[in-house]
Structure 1
Amino acid sequence: MDRRDFLKTSVGAAGLTIAAPYIARAATITMRFAHFAEEGHPANIAAKQFASQVEKRTDGAIKIAIFPNNQLGGPPEQAQQIKLGTIDMGLPTQGQLDKYDKAFATIELPFIFNGREDAFPILDGPAMEWLAPLAEKQGFVLLRNWEYGFRNVTNSVRPINEPDDMKGLKIRTPPELQIQASMEALGAVVTAIAFPELYLALSQKVVDGEENPIAVIYFNKIAEVQKHLALTQHVYNNMIHTIGVNSWKRLTPEQQAIFHEESRSSGELMRKLIADAETDQIDKLQKAGMQVTRPDLAAFRAKMEPAYKRIADYAGADNVKKFREIVDNYHSAHKG
């Protein structure tokens, strides 16, 4: 059929022949979802559930291509690409987002949370109400908090039961002020070592210990070179399911509602997978010979004012004051 015959057919069908295929093509959107977790990680399992459910609930109008394991660049590059729109969505942590607004740095205040039981409702509720508008001004729409985990201390010298047990220990940390400040406030000596070199440094006693989420300690076989694990839970952060503002605007209000609902569902899945795995991993670490202690964290928290001051210099005193008030208000409202 040549162009003239096609146009005649289209007009004869009251324009429907030309309009319907055009509308169908315009309504189909393929989005790029990049993150830094490995394919078998709970984050990627949750991402796949999100993509599947969105495609199903939009009748195929929205398809989501997932790029795990830093395929489209490292975490800082991913965050920038989300902002620019070359990637539609991802799972940045507060550590990536604090480069755009320092308020996000407050989430990693050491010992600010008692555990998941208050971290989740605080971050999902009042903290999200505070941070989401700030993120949107920078080009990010925060859909839902997912998970990453609390950080814990290992060492080869002695069990950690109270703050004084940390004094003098040489502890490797990543180059993040909040983590370094927390260790130094307890009297530890912080050393910077690249993560790929950490196992060798521990085995050769270059440092006495390190700190990481349980999954990192487990999968990197830290139990082979460290005897003690203290469940200090000193710093928490999580992956935040985030979509760029321009990508968000491409969605209808109904599709946006689906995104919010399915992001929440997938985030809950990830949280469950992480928590279940952590319990099992701690048990396996003990069976591998690690001695596990569960210190009273109140004594550790009481030592953190110097760390909070250092973090306030970076994140802004008003931001730190605001987040501490959010946490205090939550605790006051949920006493007992």
Structure 2
Amino acid sequence: MLKKLLLTGAVCALMTTHAYAQDVTLRLAHFAAETHPGHIAAKQFADRVAERTGGAVAVEIFPANELGSPPEQLEQTKLGAIEMNLPTQGGLDKYEKAFGTVMTPFAFRDYSHAHQVLDGPFTDWAAPLLEKQGLVMLSNWEYGFRNITNSVRPINSPEDVKGLRLRTPPELQIVAAMEGLGAATTQIAFPELPNALNQGVVDGQENPIGVIYHFKLNEFQEHLALTRHVYNSMVHVINKDVFDGLTPEQQQILREESAAAGQLMRDLVVAQEEKELAELESAGMKITRPDLKAFAAMMGPARDRVGEYSGAENMKTFLGFLD
């Protein structure tokens, strides 16, 4: 499959602007489940792009890591073997460190604050930097504030996190936040997470509510604490050479429909969270809502680690956007 994608990407790179303008199929790979708002938004994007371009631009969607793990998908998008991707900032910061600042623990007050910062000064600053890496940022979508689940005990204070064995993705920001609370972290690929939880390889994990709900992690975890320790979102990106091969009108359509799809995902994620929490609770999950001030107060070392990773100047610029 990978060899086929690379060959296809190479062919795409040789296509002329005229060929792209007339007839092109763009593959959009992402990691969300087919029931998740991210996939629903991707389908809207595909339908509207096809409609508005009269079928000249078709979008083929590959959900739930069908074309590889998130890092593999993003690498292939950068190479042009997959045209579009929906990574989080934690994926993009491997290519442009400015994106690493977004996942600073307890950076945002709420969804509205995060959206205002990301859509405004952050995009104005970071999007041109990402283009130098061969990726065009179409718009910010959603993923959500991350929360801790575990099978050992309820979490009401930072002390309750201490000693838990928690799976995290490889993003340093999340590892730093959990270790800052005294947890022992282990990096396990997401497709392997349910089995790891079921077998007790780890005590728990952390993810947005929608991920916990749609992937039914409550079947392996008794406790959920709404810690909201890190915010991140999907970011809709397209290979720059592919984007440059489209007509200006098609480029504008992609930008507009990407923004509209991102707004749909945001609306769905925010609206569904309380409903999903209620369903998780009714299914037997025990939910706590701790005072987050004590958690945020312990994030000094974690923020230092994020600043060192992202770059001191990048962190200074990002923190200036938060006021």
- TM-score of the pair, normalised by structure 1: 0.82
Q: Give the Å deviation of 1:165.
A: 2.7
Map 1:38-77 to 2 at 5 A: 38-77=33-72
Mapping 1:311-326, distance limit 5 Å: 311-326=306-321
User: Who is 2:113 aligned against?
Assistant: 118
Runs of 4+ deviating beyond 6 Å: 23-26
Matches within 5 A, 1:178-217: 178-203=173-198, 205-217=200-212
The letter for the 2-side match of 1:321 is: K
Percent same amino acid at aligned positions? 57
Aligned to 1:153: 148
Q: Secondary structure at the match of 1:125?
A: helix
2:245 is the counterpart of 1:256: no
Structure 2 letter corresponding to 1:42 = P
SS in 2 for 1:33: strand
Instruction: Please report how far the alpha carbon of residue 178 of structure 1 lies from its aligned counterpart in structure 2 after TM superposition.
Output: 1.1
SS in 2 for 1:306: helix
Residue deviations 1:10-55 (CA, integer Å, cap 9, x gap)? xxxxxxxxxxxxx997742213222223333322221221122122
Cα drift, residue 159 of structure 1: 2.5
- Range 133-142 or range 273-282, more displaced: 273-282
Question: Secondary structure, in 3 states, of the residue corresponding to 2:255?
Answer: helix
Number of aligned residues: 306
Deviations 1:266-286 (A, max 9, x none): 111112222233222211111
Q: CA deviation at 1:195?
A: 4.1
Amino acid at match of 1:51: A
Superposed displacement of residue 119, structure 1: 1.1
CA contact (8 A) 1:214 1:278 kept: yes
Match of residue 105 from structure 1 = 100
1:194-246 CA distance string (max 9 Å, x none): 54554455455554332122233224433344332111111121111111211
TM-score, normalised with respect to structure 2:
0.85
User: Relative to structure 2, which stretch is displaced further, 48-57 or 59-68?
Assistant: 59-68
Letter in 2 for 1:166: V
Q: Would the aligned equivalents of 2:27 and 2:84 in 1 still touch at CA under 8 Å? A: yes
Identify if the C-alpha distance between structure 1 residues 302 and 268 changes in structure 2 by more than 3 Å, giving closer, same or farther. Answer: same
Q: Which amino acid aligns with 2:278?
A: D
Change (3 A) 1:200 1:237: same
CA contact (8 A) 2:49 2:58 kept: yes
The counterpart of 1:241, out of the listed 225, 236, 256, is 236
Contact 2:36 2:214 in 1 (8 A): no
Please say if residues 141 and 244 of structure 1, whose CA atoms lie closer than 8 Å, have aligned partners that are also in contact.
Answer: yes
Aligned counterpart for 1:30 among listed residues 24, 33, 57: 24
**Offset of residue 115 of structure 1:** 2.2
Quick one: distance in 1 between partners of 2:198 and 2:67? Answer: 33
Distance across 1 between alignment mates of 2:160 and 2:147: 14
The 8 Å contact of residues 35 and 92 in structure 1, kept in 2 or not, is answered as no
2: distance between equivalents of 1:66 and 1:137?
26
2:159 counterpart of 1:164: yes
In 2, Cα distance between equivalents of 1:316 and 1:63 = 39
User: 2:277 is matched with which residue?
Assistant: 282
Please give the root-mean-square deviation of Cα atoms over the aligned residues, in Å: 2.4
Q: Report the residue type matching 1:116 in the other structure.
A: Y
**Equivalents in 2 of 1:194, 1:295: separation in Å?**
28
Relative to structure 2, which stretch is displaced further, 139-148 or 170-179? 170-179
The residue that corresponds to 1:227 in the other structure is 222
